[in-house]
Amino acid sequence: MISAGDFRNGMTIELDSNIFQIIEFQHVKPGKGAAFVRTKLKNIKSGGVVEKTFRPTEKCPQARIDRKDMQYLYSDGDLFNFMDVETYEQIALNADAIGDALKFVKENEMCKVCSHNGNVFAVEPPLFVELEITETEPGFKGDTATGASKPAIVETGAQVSVPLFVNQGDKIKIDTRTGEYLSRV
C-alpha cells in the first residue's frame, strides 16, 4: 500500500479494480481546509485519462507491472504469437491486446510484453526500427525548397511520410512512438 502523499510520476496504482499510471500529481495546501493531492491518472488498459483528488493519508495498493522481453514470431489471423527467449514458452495474444503496437515490427523482432497478475494488456515495440520501403512514388528533382514529403509503404505494410529523396528499396529508420521517419540507413 502506498499513501497519496508518496505519489510520484510514472508510478502505477490499483483503483476501482483498474490499473492507473500517475501522469501528473500536485500537493495542494489551501489556506483554509485540509491539504489534498490532485492527480492525473492514465488507465493502462483503455488509455483514458482521469483526474482524481486524494487526501494525503489515503492509501492505494501499488500495481506491479511485469515487462518481459519476448520475440514476435508471426501472426495467424487474429492471433499474434510471441516467444520467451529464455524458456522458449510461446503465448498467443489477440488483436485487442496488441492494438497498433506491431505496425512497424517485423517477425522475429524483440518486443516488451506488459502484464499485470499474469494478464497481458499491452505490447511495447522497440523505440526505433529499420525497415525497407516497398512502395513509393519517385521524387522530383529540385522540389526540395519546401521540405516536401511523400507517402511510402514499408515492408510491414504501414504507411510513413518520407522526404522526396527516399526511393523504393531504401532502408529507413522509424520512431515507433510517433511513426515518423528519422533517417536513411
pTM of the model: 0.69
Q: Per CATH, which fold does 128-184 belong to?
A: OB fold (Dihydrolipoamide Acetyltransferase, E2P) (2.40.50)
Judge contact between 38 and 25, C-beta under 8 A: yes
Judge contact between 141 and 118, C-beta under 8 A: no
Decide if 2-60 and 66-124 have a common fold: no
The CATH architecture of the domain made up of 2-60 is Roll (2.30)
Q: Hey, where are the domains in the chain?
A: 2-60, 66-124, 128-184
Provide the CA 95 distance to its chain's centre, in angstroms: 15
Q: Name the grid cell of 140.
A: 522530383
Beta-carbon contacts of 103 under 8 Å, excluding residues fewer than 6 positions away, are: 125, 156, 158, 176, 179
What does the alpha-carbon distance between residue 151 and residue 181 come to, in Å, rounded to a whole number? 11
Q: What is the pLDDT of residues 149-158, one digit of tens each?
A: 888 898 888 8
Q: What is the pLDDT of residues 103-119, one digit of tens each?
A: 888 888 888 888 888 77
What value, to the nearest 5°, has the Cα angle with vertex 163 and ends 158 and 169?
A: 60
Q: Per CATH, which fold does 66-124 belong to?
A: OB fold (Dihydrolipoamide Acetyltransferase, E2P) (2.40.50)
